[in-house]
Structure 1
């Protein structure tokens, strides 16, 4: 199993604070059946900045320690970029890291809103030859209230990634139901853990994949697995035609 979104590097963001905590996460990942993790520290989110060079150096160090500890897990470099207007300029400067040096680029929205410039920037990213992957859209307040925004972005070529714990209900019933709707309407393409630790924000990937198989069948189970593999190979991922989520509007007084 491949996890394309994980905060496993120590002392870089709100993930593990020590190398021991990173190793604890690594052992938990192996128990889940995960063999490869893309480390995706926060970047430019008004709290953490993690440059491309810093992430690659930390990944190399962690891989070396994992090898010495005989933990069968491979860590690859990635970055969870909060959306900002100059991201393409910084990419051209070599400061922005795609997922394991592929054409896929993580984009995070603020938790409560979607910037007005987002749609244009996602288009410009694609013009540059990259494919934006919007992380955990199910946890964005504006998208929850107006999923048509996400539909337009996916229709225009952006991809999305739902968090395993969201699907499992660990962020509440509303977010779980929205996660299910995103799958039902072909508005998401990847499942990943977004794990930060082994307690309050652990992997939950096995549980999420079991839920997908139970509710949507083996086709979807394999699709999400294969998409993560295809991403690592820098290949084309499987995506169905997106459908809009219709929100019911009630008029009058009852």
Structure 2
């Protein structure tokens, strides 16, 4: 059976306005919502950046307020897209402390947190912290690790680590489509071959630049990954998050 977007839940999207490098204003969030609706994608998890010490570090309360305002806008404009809460949490040294104090949002009310590795640092401290967190029962999903230079250099070791410790991986659709270069694509395919990928997200930032895959690109993703894997990554596993599994 050919892949359909009707059951897709996008677990990684920058759709809230004025909060990071996603939409600057509500009108742009509305345009992105309409784009999702045209594709047939009806559920989207809002994963605004949380980067401590920068302007992109909105509290969980602000994220929830923004999400409610955008949802009201969608509803009043007959955009059939339901928003769910979350954050893309940049790895930082106070990550354990902030999680312990309940300051960060998991994805869709689940027990899993989306953590973005640093683009500039090595991975030793990241892996040490992930081992602590998984040991304490936290569910961690790594956001697009295939795009991280240090991880690209040691993809095999990272694959072994995540399989051992139960850390999950979310690839960007754009990585498989070649949007982020050959190194990202090659690393994504390596993770797929190792069987350590659980999710494929759009990492959308707008309805124009860095938008979700269009209909033709979904066909290409199906060709690359196969219908069964694509449904698992984009439909079944995200549905488990939303239902609290």
TM-score between the two structures when normalised by the length of structure 2: 0.89
Q: Which residue of 2 aligns with 1:168?
A: 177
Q: Which runs of 5+ in 2 are unaligned?
A: 1-7
Deviation of residue 207 (structure 1)?
5.2
CA–CA separation in structure 2 for the residues paired with 1:171 and 1:46 = 26
Q: Which residue of 2 aligns with 1:15?
A: 22
Deviation of residue 183 (structure 1)?
1.4
CA–CA separation in structure 1 for the residues paired with 2:160 and 2:217 = 26
Q: Which residue of 1 aligns with 2:9?
A: 2
CA–CA separation in structure 2 for the residues paired with 1:95 and 1:33 = 33
Residues 205, 22 of structure 1: alpha-carbon distance in 2 compared, 3 angstrom cutoff: same
Q: Which residue of 1 aligns with 2:5?
A: none
Q: Determine which structure has more spread, i.e. the larger CA radius of gyration.
A: 1
More moved, 197-206 vs 57-66: 197-206
CA–CA separation in structure 2 for the residues paired with 1:208 and 1:98 = 29
Report the count of equivalent residues: 235
TM-score between the two structures when normalised by the length of structure 1: 0.86
Tell me which of 187, 190, 193 is aligned to 2:199. Answer: 190
Tell me which of 122, 127, 144 is aligned to 2:152. Answer: 144
Q: Which one has the bigger helix percentage? A: 2
Alignment of 1:105-254 (within 5 A): 105-155=113-163, 156-204=165-213, 209-224=218-233, 225-235=235-245
Residues 80, 43 of structure 1: alpha-carbon distance in 2 compared, 3 angstrom cutoff: same
Q: Which residue of 1 aligns with 2:3?
A: none
Aligned Cα root-mean-square deviation (Å):
1.7
Deviation of residue 149 (structure 1)?
3.3
CA–CA separation in structure 1 for the residues paired with 2:213 and 2:68 = 26
Residues 131, 206 of structure 1: alpha-carbon distance in 2 compared, 3 angstrom cutoff: farther
CA–CA separation in structure 2 for the residues paired with 1:11 and 1:160 = 28
CA–CA separation in structure 1 for the residues paired with 2:237 and 2:65 = 27
**Is the Cα–Cα contact under 8 Å of residues 9 and 59 in structure 1 kept in the other structure?**
yes
- RCO higher in structure (CA 8 A, sep ≥6): 2
More moved, 154-163 vs 37-46: 37-46
Deviation of residue 208 (structure 1)?
5.6
Residues 64, 216 of structure 1: alpha-carbon distance in 2 compared, 3 angstrom cutoff: closer
